[in-house]
């Protein structure tokens, strides 16, 4: 399964990934080549700066491509889907625009075309077409320092572990995305706390969809027992009324 | 005096409708971004928090009273049945109207019928809205058939009433609780004062309490507007059910804070804390008052309690859907005037439709319900007067 490994220690903030992403997804490019402070409907990835102990670091924001995506589970019409090859992709033709994916995403990734009359949800698609052809992702291919590399998830996890083991003083001893929200296809290595990279701390290691599935899975039982219970209650009260009516009639007969 | 008051309300409603019309034009020519203050960091606002969550909750009296009369055979509650069913039916119609504004592509609302994702709470919500609106339409329809004098249809309706009511109870239970389940997926975003694994149960219990409050509230309004009210003895019973439900709800609500270890947070100085106390005080005060027999015998007191419960319920739903999410969103959200105008238009439409129904259908004075009556039921205006 395709994944990306982003190593913050290697990022020089050149913006090649942003430019490559725009080209790949045919997104508009401003005259000065700049990008906004957060991803939006026309920028699936952006570069940002984080300050920590007097040093400045560059980091990327993009869709995490969860292994069990929250967006996929919450979409009422199945417009979001995790493919076997790794990308979490969006099917515009199904979307009704309820925006539950925006609300539910633990990484607050999906964006909406707010001013459009036929609005779409927009986000990184992990270069679905490239992945299908076996080519590297556009951002990884464009990265001059290897700060973003593409590969099989298992391989990238091994690489990440090896890097931490080789230079433990350089990294926080944690691969973000190995377990967060049940694991993601985009992995981060960082020299500074992950919260500084806008990656939420304290996310559960289980996939979030379990939270709702525990409740939804009880529905069939609720319907069956509820229906039986209601029928029973109706029968008892109805019978009681019939008996009362019959007794009243009986009394009237006997003077 | 009465005339002046009528005139005043007509002007208010007309102004609301004019603002709503303007907002509607903007919404459907400039998109959601042009009409609302919604954003990528705050994708659900007033239309979901108030129109959907509160609209559905306020309609909860419908299934509770229908079950009481038809399944428990508590005949004395029959006078409440029709106004409650009418409220629920109008409530659901207005919720669907609000959804048409809020969905990005409302003309695709039928997609949930074709493209299934049973693992989605929103999928459950969509099906509950569709099916229960259909059930409510059928439960409401006898008022219409009776009015039109369609005896054969009335006979068919009477035959299917019981299974229909049962279906309505199950669908409502699912729907009320599923609105709470919607927020189970945001454990890191929703403030711990509101996020709880028990959200579905909380939404269900509070909807029953507010359903009872709405019965009292409407009876009070109708007494004023049409001189048609329900018997005080009945309303006292309804108030008792409301108080007991609220007691169970509040007990669980605070016990849940203990279980989750966040009880200490109800004393920290934050805006959220104030809203938390406002919400729970608005529910706890009328609960305590309704346990007193003397207050329950006072129509004004009952009406006041019902208003407080409705306010507390609205506060709860808006806290879960808006205030409790502000901090994690990082961007403040306050609805635009157009969002407010659409919401007010929908509420006003509810009052106008209720008014019309009371005037032209036998809502408060059901002609002998189980006998097939033909002609104009007693106490209603002849149909031609508004044609």
In this prediction, residue B277 has a pLDDT band, given cuts at 50, 70 and 90, of very high
d(CA B48, CA B169): 23
In this structure, are residues A7 and A189 in contact, taking their beta carbons and an 8 Å threshold?
Answer: yes
Question: Per the CB < 8 Å rule, is B38 touching A114?
Answer: yes
| A70 at B interface, C-beta within 8 A | yes
**Comparing B64-73, B144-153, B360-369, which segment has the lowest mean pLDDT?**
B360-369
A96: nearest CB among B73, B103, B173: B103
- How far is the first Cα of chain B from the last one, in angstroms, to the nearest whole number? 28
d(CA A56, CA A67): 31
Q: Is the pLDDT of residue B387 over 50?
A: no
Contacts of A92 in chain B (CB under 8 A): none
Contacts of A102 in chain B (CB under 8 A): 40, 43
Give me the helices (H) in chain A, please: 16-24, 70-74, 100-104, 128-132, 138-142, 153-166, 209-216, 219-253
d(CA A79, CA B119): 13
Our CA-based measurement puts residue B159 at a distance from the nearest CA of chain A, in whole angstroms, of 15
A212: nearest CB among B28, B70, B121: B121
d(CA B165, CA A34): 60
Enumerate residues 6+ apart whose C-beta is below 8 A from B78: B69, B366, B369
Enumerate residues 6+ apart whose C-beta is below 8 A from B61: B84, B87, B88, B211, B212, B214, B215
pLDDT at B152: 87
A67 is written with which tokens? 């292994």
DSSP for B143-202, please give it: HHHHHHT-HHHHHHHHHHHHHHHHHHHHHHHHHHHHHHHGGGG-TTTS-TTT--TTHHHH
d(CA B299, CA B220): 8
Contacts of B175 in chain A (CB under 8 A): none
Paired sense of beta strands A2-7 and A46-52, if any: unpaired
Contacts of A230 in chain B (CB under 8 A): 67, 71, 166, 169-170
Contacts of A123 in chain B (CB under 8 A): none
DSSP for B294-322, please give it: HHHT-HHHHHHHHHHHHHHHHHHHHIIII
Which DSSP state fits B59?
Answer: T
CA distances from B212 to B80, B155, B241, B361 (A): 10, 30, 8, 23
Question: Per the CB < 8 Å rule, is B170 touching A79?
Answer: no
Helix, strand, coil shares of chain B as percentages rounded to 5?
80, 0, 20
Q: Which fold has domain B16-371?
A: Formate dehydrogenase/DMSO reductase fold (1.20.1630)
Question: pLDDT (tens digit, 9 = 90+) per residue, A164-173?
Answer: 999 999 999 9
B115 is written with which tokens? 């493209």
Strand pairing partners for A148?
A: A6
B37 is written with which tokens? 């203050």
| A246 at B interface, C-beta within 8 A | no
Domain boundaries, chain B: 16-371
| A79 at B interface, C-beta within 8 A | yes
What ipTM was reported for this prediction?
0.91
Tell me how far the alpha carbon of residue B380 is from its chain's centroid. Answer: 26
d(CA B278, CA B316): 9
Enumerate residues 6+ apart whose C-beta is below 8 A from B53: B179, B317, B320, B321
- Phi, psi for residue B41 in degrees, rounded to 5: -85, -15
Which DSSP state fits A189?
Answer: E
Tell me how far the alpha carbon of residue B306 is from its chain's centroid. Answer: 13
pLDDT at B373: 39
Which of A103, A233, A241 to mutate against chain B (most B CBs within 10 Å)? A103
Question: Per the CB < 8 Å rule, is B43 touching A99?
Answer: yes
B122: nearest CB among A76, A110, A112: A76
Question: Per the CB < 8 Å rule, is B125 touching A234?
Answer: no
Strand pairing partners for A186?
A: A4
> A2-208 in CATH: which number?
3.30.70.20
pLDDT at B384: 38
Question: Per the CB < 8 Å rule, is B122 touching A223?
Answer: no
pLDDT at A63: 97
Q: What is the dihedral of CA A27, A29, A35, A36, to 10 degrees?
A: -60
pLDDT at B382: 44
CA distances from A7 to A4, A143, A151, B63 (A): 10, 11, 14, 57
Question: pLDDT (tens digit, 9 = 90+) per residue, B207-218?
Answer: 999 999 998 988
Per-window interface: A 84-123 vs B, CB < 8 A: 94-100, 102-104, 106, 108, 110-119
Contacts of A205 in chain B (CB under 8 A): none
In degrees, to the nearest 5, what angle opens at C-alpha A148 toward C-alphas A41 and A169? 125
Our CA-based measurement puts residue B2 at a distance from the nearest CA of chain A, in whole angstroms, of 44
Question: Per the CB < 8 Å rule, is B185 touching A209?
Answer: yes
In this structure, are residues B69 and B75 in contact, taking their beta carbons and an 8 Å threshold?
Answer: yes
Question: Per the CB < 8 Å rule, is B174 touching A234?
Answer: no
Our CA-based measurement puts residue A201 at a distance from the nearest CA of chain B, in whole angstroms, of 9
Question: Per the CB < 8 Å rule, is B187 touching A204?
Answer: yes
Which of A39, A77, A243 to mutate against chain B (most B CBs within 10 Å)? A77
Q: What is the CA radius of gyration of chain A?
A: 27
Question: Per the CB < 8 Å rule, is A212 touching B41?
Answer: no
In this prediction, residue B229 has a pLDDT band, given cuts at 50, 70 and 90, of low
In this structure, are residues B90 and B350 in contact, taking their beta carbons and an 8 Å threshold?
Answer: yes
**Which helix (H) or strand (E) element contains residue B58?**
helix B53-58
Tell me how far the alpha carbon of residue A89 is from its chain's centroid. Answer: 11
Name the nearest CA neighbour of B57 among B351, B357, B318, B387. Answer: B318
In this prediction, residue A255 has a pLDDT band, given cuts at 50, 70 and 90, of low
pLDDT at A252: 84
Question: pLDDT (tens digit, 9 = 90+) per residue, A21-62?
Answer: 999 999 999 999 899 999 999 999 999 999 999 999 999 999
Contacts of B197 in chain A (CB under 8 A): 211
Question: pLDDT (tens digit, 9 = 90+) per residue, A83-103?
Answer: 999 999 999 999 999 999 999
Q: Is the pLDDT of residue B370 over 60?
A: no
pLDDT at B76: 81
Residue reference for tokens 């377990």 = A179
Our CA-based measurement puts residue A166 at a distance from the nearest CA of chain B, in whole angstroms, of 34
pLDDT at B101: 97
In this structure, are residues B223 and B358 in contact, taking their beta carbons and an 8 Å threshold?
Answer: no
d(CA A6, CA A196): 15
Q: Is the pLDDT of residue B368 over 50?
A: no
**Which helix (H) or strand (E) element contains residue A55?**
strand A55-61
Q: What is the CA radius of gyration of chain B?
A: 21
Q: Is the pLDDT of residue B386 over 60?
A: no
Question: Per the CB < 8 Å rule, is B104 touching A96?
Answer: yes
In this structure, are residues B68 and B77 in contact, taking their beta carbons and an 8 Å threshold?
Answer: yes
| Residue pairs between chains A and B whose CB atoms are closer than 8 Å | 156
Name the nearest CA neighbour of A82 among A178, A182, A185. Answer: A185
Per-window interface: A 159-198 vs B, CB < 8 A: none
B138 is written with which tokens? 């059928």
Our CA-based measurement puts residue B174 at a distance from the nearest CA of chain A, in whole angstroms, of 8
Q: Is the pLDDT of residue B148 over 90?
A: no
Question: Per the CB < 8 Å rule, is B72 touching A233?
Answer: yes
| Summary mean pLDDT of chain B | 88
Q: Is the pLDDT of residue A241 over 90?
A: no
């Amino acid at each position: 399964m395709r994944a990306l490994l982003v190593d913050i220690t290697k990022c020089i903030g050149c913006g090649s990934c942003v430019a490559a992403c725009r080209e790949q997804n045919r997104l508009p490019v401003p005259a000065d080549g700049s990008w906004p402070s957060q991803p939006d409907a026309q920028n699936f990835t952006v570069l940002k700066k984080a300050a920590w102990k007097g040093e400045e670091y560059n980091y990327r924001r993009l869709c995490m491509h969860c292994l069990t995506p929250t967006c996929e589970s919450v979409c009422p019409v199945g417009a979001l889907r995790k493919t076997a090859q790794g990308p979490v992709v969006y099917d515009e033709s199904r979307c009704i625009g309820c925006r539950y994916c925006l609300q539910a995403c633990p990484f607050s990734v999906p964006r909406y075309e707010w001013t459009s009359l036929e609005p779409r949800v927009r986000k990184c698609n992990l270069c679905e077409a490239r992945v299908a052809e076996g080519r590297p992702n556009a951002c990884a291919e464009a990265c001059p320092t290897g700060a973003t590399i593409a590969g099989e998830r298992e391989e990238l996890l091994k690489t990440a572990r090896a890097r931490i083991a080789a230079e433990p003083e350089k990294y926080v001893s944690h691969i973000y995305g190995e377990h967060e929200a049940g694991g993601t296809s985009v992995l981060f290595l960082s020299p500074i706390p992950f919260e500084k990279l806008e990656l939420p701390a304290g996310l559960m290691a289980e996939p979030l969809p379990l939270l709702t599935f525990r409740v939804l899975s009880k529905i069939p039982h609720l319907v069956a027992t509820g229906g039986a219970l209601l029928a029973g209650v109706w029968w008892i009260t109805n019978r009681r009324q019939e008996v009362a009516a019959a007794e009243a009639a009986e009394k009237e007969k006997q003077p | 005096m009465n005339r002046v008051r009528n005139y005043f309300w007509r002007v208010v409603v007309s102004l609301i409708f004019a603002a709503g019309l303007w907002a509607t034009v903007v919404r459907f020519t400039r998109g959601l971004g042009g009409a609302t203050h919604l954003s990528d960091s705050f994708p659900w606002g007033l239309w979901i928090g108030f129109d959907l969550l509160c609209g559905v909750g306020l309609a909860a009296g419908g299934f509770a009273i229908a079950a009481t009369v038809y399944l428990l055979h508590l005949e004395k509650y029959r006078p409440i049945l029709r106004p409650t069913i009418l409220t629920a039916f109008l409530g659901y119609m207005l919720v669907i109207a609000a959804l048409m504004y809020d969905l990005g592509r409302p003309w695709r609302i039928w997609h949930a019928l074709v493209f299934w994702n049973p693992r989605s709470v929103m999928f459950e919500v969509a099906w509950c809205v569709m099916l229960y609106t259909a059930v409510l339409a059928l439960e409401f329809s006898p008022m219409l058939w009776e009015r039109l004098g369609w005896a054969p249809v009335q006979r068919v309706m009477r035959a299917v009433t019981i299974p229909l009511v049962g279906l309505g109870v199950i669908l409502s239970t699912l729907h009320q609780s599923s609105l709470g389940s919607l927020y189970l997926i945001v454990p890191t975003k929703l403030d711990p004062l509101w996020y709880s694994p028990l959200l579905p149960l909380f939404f269900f219990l509070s909807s029953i309490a507010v359903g009872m409050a709405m019965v009292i509230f409407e009876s009070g309004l109708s007494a004023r507007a049409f001189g048609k009210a329900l018997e005080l003895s009945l309303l006292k019973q309804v108030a008792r059910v409301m108080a007991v439900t609220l007691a169970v709800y509040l007990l669980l609500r605070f016990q849940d804070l203990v279980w989750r270890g966040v009880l200490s947070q109800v004393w920290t100085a934050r805006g959220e804390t104030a809203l938390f106390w406002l919400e729970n005080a608005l529910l706890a005060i009328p609960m305590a008052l309704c346990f007193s027999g003397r207050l329950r015998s006072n129509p004004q007191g009952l009406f006041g309690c019902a208003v407080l419960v409705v306010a507390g319920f609205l506060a709860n739903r808006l806290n879960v859907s808006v205030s409790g999410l502000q901090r994690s969103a990082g961007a403040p959200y306050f609805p635009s005037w157009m969002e407010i105008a659409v919401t007010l238009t929908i509420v006003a439409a509810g009052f106008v439709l209720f008014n019309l129904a009371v005037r032209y259908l036998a809502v408060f004075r059901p002609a002998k319900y189980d006998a097939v009556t033909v002609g104009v039921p007693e106490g209603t205006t002849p149909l031609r007067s508004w044609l």
